[in-house]
Structure 1
Amino acid sequence: MMHTYALPHIERLEPYALGEQPKPGRTCAKLNQNENPYPPSPAVLEALRSMPEESLRRYPDPSAGALRAAIAERTGLAAEQIYCANGSSEIISLLFKVFVGPGGRAAVAEPGFGLYQTEAAGHQAACIPIPLLPDYRLDIDGLLSSGADALILIHPHAPTGLLTNPEELERLVRSFQGLVVVDEAYIDYAPAGSSVLPLIEQFPNLLVLRTFSKSYGLSGLRAGYCAGSRELIAAFAKGGGIYNVDALAQKLALAAVRDDAYMRGSVARVVATRDAFAGELRRRGYDVLPSSANFVLCAPPVTGPDARTIYRKLVERDIYVRHYEHPRLRGLLRISIGTDEEMEWLRRELDALASNSG
């Protein structure tokens, strides 16, 4: 057998499983990766068109200084409390490299975002799964009693879309002596005042992750950041690479941050569609968790086809939603919120599947 030359723990690694990708050249509704259905700000597109040639042949600002300053202004933090990276996925990898390390233990809510387990295994760290409560909410006490070196939670949680009570989150951060990582990829879709960013000044063990992939509509760009105490961010800078945020990403992300009003308008459209679609599902007998993200997690009515059958039939119709084999999720579908037209297409197909099953 050919030698791969990879380290043994990498050989054993289970890669993160992405949602099924659409077939090239076909019109589809891609509702399985929680992308923004609307384009980024016109300011971003103008920044792209005006990108000077010099910026491409010179190395970018290694500190992403202008972008960090703009994020700091928006969040009310200092630039020294912001670290920018090549998407929040790079930050997830770095937090295991810098703060957990080989033999370290991180507790994560299960089921959740599988990339955390993948990155933990890649850095020879252990992930301690803390099952969600029967109502799919986070088990705060279970996380606190896990014996882990770090706690990782998603707020709102994925794939449920549920928010955790702010007082409970503060209790967790206050009670835990190690690092607490709060992934706020979907926070812009949650009610105002839901973020834990204001707690950073009070708790030096709190690290908050953010991405440009969701509310800013820049999944194809790869840009993200984390916020925390100056000491945490300085450690990230030591452990991170150089030039990890390219010049194009810095310029376009900066334009996006500066057009906050456009992002808010885009979010409002998605939230309105989300709430209307959830209501339509409930009227059809679906059990839908109350979502504060840009997706819904739902169980089909027991009188019709099951979740896996619906998933397969929708793929045949060029509609892509997410179905998981995890025992807690096997009977559920996670549906990203698309345009009103895409959601209407999905509703028609769901109705057709229900009629055919009868």
Structure 2
Amino acid sequence: MHTILPHMLKLGSYEAGIRPQNVREVIKLNQNENPYPPSPQVRGVLSKANWQELRCYPDPQMEELREGLAEVYRVRKERIFCGSGSSEIISLLFTVCVGHERRIAIPDPSFSLYASVAAVHQAECVKIPTRDDFSVDVDGLLECGAHAVMLVNPNNPTGVQLPLAEVERLVKHVKGLVVVDEAYIDFAESGSSAIPLIDQYEHVIVLRTFSKSYALSGARVGYAFANETLIAALEKAKHLYNINVLSQRLALAALSDQEYMKWRAALIRRNREWLSSQLRQLDFHVVPSQANFILCSPPPEGPYDARALYQKLMDRNLFVRYFEEPRLRGYVRISIGTDEQMKCTMDVIQDLFGE
């Protein structure tokens, strides 16, 4: 007799990018990690850490971190929730707002974790195809009758950003929950955030993370903005001590150095445009991106298709991302790295394509 719920036995696992064992000996551009180190303020916290604190429980309300977020984003701390990465917040939203046998809608393609979490909660997930240029079909999302809509903006894995006016149109006409996941917004040329929408609409929540622009993927800290009622519901559902004491301190230190974060984000934008330009010169199709990665496809007449290119790059210790989904089989996703990493990437690709 199985003790595991039947639907869980049938589920596949969420597939993250390959993590090579010898990370320092490869160029790892497959998980959209920040190629630059965190702020010196973060390193200062690590060097001065009081290890005695580890024997005590962390602040379950994360008062200091929420106050810091409130100051930077000019949102009352009662409207801020912190979780163990935005992934925990996503799961909690299904627990609090979706449940089982209800319908959510997501663009297709988009961040596959939303579909995975929906399956765990036995919620129906309707995938609304993006247009030929990968732009989000707002009308399609509105017409599917979902109880909740999950929008990643800029989208992952395409990098395409939906204009704020279209985000608001979606929010205005959806009656249920609208999640606007802004994990990559700091890399967008137009960083128009949906955070102000929480003042007008009680059913919208905006997700952010310290993993990307703040270079703290390993610390696992995410945060969200919404009305007080929704925030209070998330607090009831979360694990009591969901962010450890050191991660809270690291996130607060990173948050305090906005100048450093914006400087590094600008470098990533510059490298994104350089890599896009270089690939286009080789007749690659590059989807215009507003994130810290690009989605691109090799020229049809070239020696390698996307899957073969992915394998060839990996053979040379250069890890990018390949997806088996029908809309993405002709593409690879390349996270943006440092100047040196981008030059090495192009040197390999030019060698492969006979330049």
Identity of paired residues, percent?
49
Distance 2:181 2:35 in 1: 22
Structure 1 residue 103, shift from structure 2 partner: 1.1
Distance 2:207 2:53 in 1: 27
**What residue in structure 2 maps to residue 313 of structure 1?**
312
- Compute the RMSD of aligned alpha carbons: 1.2
Look up the SS of the partner of 1:236 in the other structure: helix
The aligned runs of 1:212-231 (5 Å cut-off) are 212-231=210-229
**What residue in structure 2 maps to residue 196 of structure 1?**
194
For the pair 1:66 / 2:80, whether they are aligned, the reply is no
Structure 1 residue 26, shift from structure 2 partner: 6.0
For the pair 1:337 / 2:310, whether they are aligned, the reply is no
Mind listing any 5+ residue stretches in structure 1 that lack a counterpart?
none
Structure 1 residue 72, shift from structure 2 partner: 1.0
**What residue in structure 1 maps to residue 351 of structure 2?**
352
Distance 2:55 2:235 in 1: 24
Look up the SS of the partner of 1:46 in the other structure: helix
Structure 1 residue 110, shift from structure 2 partner: 1.2
Aligned mate of 2:143, from 135, 138, 145: 145
AA of the residue aligned to 1:119: V
Structure 1 residue 296, shift from structure 2 partner: 0.4
Distance 1:221 1:52 in 2: 17
1:22/1:318 contact within 8 Å kept? no
For the pair 1:325 / 2:297, whether they are aligned, the reply is no
Structure 1 residue 154, shift from structure 2 partner: 0.4
Structure 1 residue 233, shift from structure 2 partner: 0.6
Structure 1 residue 24, shift from structure 2 partner: 2.6
Q: For each residue in 1:71-126, what CA deviation from the matched residue of structure 2 results, as whole angstroms up to 9, or x when unmatched?
A: 11111100000000111110111111110001121111111111111111111111
Look up the SS of the partner of 2:219 in the other structure: coil
1:278/1:296 contact within 8 Å kept? yes
Residues 240, 26 of structure 1: CA spacing in aligned structure 2 closer, same or farther, 3 A cutoff? Answer: closer
For the pair 1:41 / 2:58, whether they are aligned, the reply is no
AA of the residue aligned to 1:205: H
Return the TM-score normalized by structure 1: 0.97
Distance 2:160 2:272 in 1: 14
Aligned residues: 354
The aligned runs of 1:94-243 (5 Å cut-off) are 94-243=92-241
Distance 1:25 1:239 in 2: 36
Aligned mate of 2:3, from 5, 8, 11: 5
Distance 1:26 1:51 in 2: 26
Structure 1 residue 263, shift from structure 2 partner: 0.5
Distance 1:153 1:328 in 2: 18
AA of the residue aligned to 1:122: V
Look up the SS of the partner of 1:20 in the other structure: coil
Mind listing any 5+ residue stretches in structure 2 that lack a counterpart?
none
Structure 1 residue 355, shift from structure 2 partner: 1.4
Structure 1 residue 25, shift from structure 2 partner: 6.5
Aligned mate of 1:297, from 295, 298, 313: 295
**What residue in structure 1 maps to residue 276 of structure 2?**
278
2:108/2:128 contact within 8 Å kept? yes
Look up the SS of the partner of 1:43 in the other structure: helix
AA of the residue aligned to 2:257: D
Return the TM-score normalized by structure 2: 0.97
Aligned mate of 1:86, from 84, 87, 90: 84
2:185/2:191 contact within 8 Å kept? no
